[in-house]
Amino acid sequence: MQDSGASIIIERLVAHGVGVVAGMPGGANLPIYDALLDSGIAHVLVRHEQAAGFIAQGMARVGGRAGVCLATSGPGATNLVTALADARMDSVPLVAITGQVPTALIGTDAFQEVDTCAMVRPLVKHAEQVRRVEDVAAAIDRAFAIAEGGRPGPVLVDVPKDVQQAAAGTARAGQGAAPGAPDDADAAPAPTDAALAQVVDELSRARRPLLLVGGGAASSGASAALRKLVRRQQLPSACTLMGLGVLDPADPAHLGMLGMHGAPCTNLVLDEADLLLAVGLRFDDRATGKLAEFCPRARTVHVDIDARELGKLRAAQLPIRADARAFAERLLERAPSAARPDWSTRVAQLRAEHPLLLPAGRDPRCAIHLLGEAAEALAPETVVTTDVGQHQMWVAQLIPFERPRQLLTSGGLGTMGFGLPAAIGAALAGAPRVLCVTGDGSLLLNAQELSTLAELGLDVTILLLDNRHLGLVHQQQSLFYRGRLSASRLTQPTDFVALARSMGVDGYSLEGAARPFDALRDALARPGPRLIHAPVRVQDQVLPMVPPGGGNREMLRLRDAGARVSRVQP
């Protein structure tokens, strides 16, 4: 039998080592689904294509290779858009393959026709439509090369149905670049010797240097080298949300997450630093606060694989285009040991005087206390996914992530609905245990995927902190809109245990449990798929909080909120 465009797509997926794809079939991609049947590639049938994008992201965020999702033309493709934008913001490698109406009908407003490439082009690293069957193999190979090369990101390949059906002949593995495709030939650039010498010089002259790491340090595999570097150079360190897990949370010189919800000491140490060694991050506004007031005393060395990030927001005295791992390993070869007793003492002092404070007590209706308990009970191999809201920030504050790729969270786009499908993807990628921490608002955006989870029978536990509100919106309205609550209450209660059970997922509620903390530990120890419903009060706030637009020194703290404080984070 002669190969078709569809069978070539599948053959190239196999060649790229793809074992699982997520998606939904429809008229315009049925030839691909037909070819999939005989391929040995497992398919996850989602209940909404957005979830296919997030499942693929979950696989990619855990495994590092591009995740693959499939959708039909028109509504299938439009439903993928949010997951593509999300992958772009967090630099996650993703290959989306969409069906398209037959070539002869393109541009005629045919049934389920959308100009998919035009729609996604501003959001993806690359998008192309394949017009000839001879070009299919090269387009798929290019998609993987671009998605995974350089700074990772999403790529979309749009394949009209007649191209999927066409017989291929012999000219299959065409090569060459498509017009407009980014050139990632230099996928993992190493820093020059001159740049490294300058960094060593900057470090030797600095009195108060600080290492700041982001998602690029995590995804490039720079963690081991950076951990050695901070010890050898006695460098205090901090990270962005996407950089959690890169550095050792037990290291007393590691100050954890900076920015809008970082510990006060973290933002204050950054404020005093005279040298910022920033590796694999993009100076996002949630991290920097008011840019003009961010690290005002520090010279900046900025290392990023993407040249467009250098100087985009923060001017660096020393901008270095390099892969974070290559940079860290080469720097380690050259950087001597250093002792910085005065700076270490000052950091320890700020840490002791301005720790992260949490509300007093042990109240089973307090999401913070429940998450603290969950953090202690967590098996070390657990991968944690979150949705977006207060619970997301509490997870970032409370769980000491010990390795990169252990926290999967929608950092840049902040997409509610991410957590459950990302957890499914993480489990599919082989994470031994997966915990999805979510809120009642977020879970409802992709709750239909409970059914997908049940079908797959994966070891995923969902911890649902149900405050009957869009909690973070409620918090912002309480703090910055004089308590005028507009559309932040979910007035119609949902019976989440019944919802989970109706879709085949075991559900359990802490409501009415005699010993809720013990019940939570017990529930977390059981295998999934499982939903643990925790009813919580809405009054707790994520603090500290830098008011939007404010400088990172202007933190609203728990004490300012008049709360009784008993627990102090180390």
Ligand X SMILES: Cc1ncc(C[n+]2csc(CCOP(=O)(O)OP(=O)(O)O)c2C)c(N)n1
Q: Which residues contribute to the site for ligand X (CB under 6 A)?
A: 387-391, 414-417, 439-442, 465, 467, 469-473
> How far is 377 from 403, CA to CA, in rounded Å?
17
Nearer to ligand X, 221 or 471 (CB): 471
Closest approach of ligand X to the CB of residue 257, in Å: 17
Minimum CB distance to ligand X smaller for 32 or for 407: 407
In terms of CB distance, is 343 or 418 closer to ligand X? 418
Q: Residue 267 or 467: which CB sits closer to ligand X?
A: 467
3-state secondary structure 202-253: HHHHCCCEEEEECHHHHHHCCHHHHHHHHHHCCCCEEECHHHCCCCCCCCCC
Shortest Cβ 477–ligand X spacing (Å): 11
Q: Which of 93, 221, 74 is nearest to 148 (CA)?
A: 93
Residue closest to 9 by CA, chosen among 164, 212, 176, 171:
164
Q: How far, in Å, CA of 75 to CA of 52, rounded? A: 13
Instruction: Tell me how far, at minimum, the Cβ of 14 lies from ligand X, in Å.
Output: 34
Taking the complex as a whole, how short is the minimal distance between the CB of residue 155 and ligand X, in angstroms? 23
> Cα separation of 565 and 568, whole Å?
8
Please identify, using beta-carbon distances, which residue of 29 and 442 lies nearer to ligand X: 442
> Measured between alpha carbons, how far is residue 387 from residues 91, 132, 400 in Å?
18, 40, 18
Tell me which amino acid residue 133 is: V
Smallest gap from residue 557 Cβ to ligand X (A): 20
Query: Where is 58: in which H helix or E strand?
Result: helix 49-63
Q: Which is nearer to ligand X, 164 or 240 (CB)?
A: 240
Q: How far is the CB of 290 from ligand X (least distance, A)?
A: 21
Tally: H helices and E strands in the chain:
22, 20
Instruction: Compute φ and ψ for 13, nearest 5 degrees.
Output: -60, -45
Q: How far is the CB of 412 from ligand X (least distance, A)?
A: 11
As measured in angstroms, the least distance from the Cβ of 89 to ligand X is 12
Phi, psi dihedral angles at 196 (to 5 degrees): -65, -40
Question: 3-state DSSP call for residue 279?
Answer: strand
Q: What is the DSSP string of 413-465?
A: S--TT-HHHHHHHHHHTT-SEEEEEEEHHHHTTSTTHHHHHHHHT--EEEEEE
- Comparing CB distances to ligand X, the nearer of 61 and 391 is 391
Please report how close the Cβ of residue 83 comes to ligand X at its closest, in angstroms.
11
Contact 423, 459 (CB under 8 A): no
Nearer to ligand X, 44 or 472 (CB): 472
By beta-carbon proximity to ligand X, the closer residue of 63 and 441 is 441
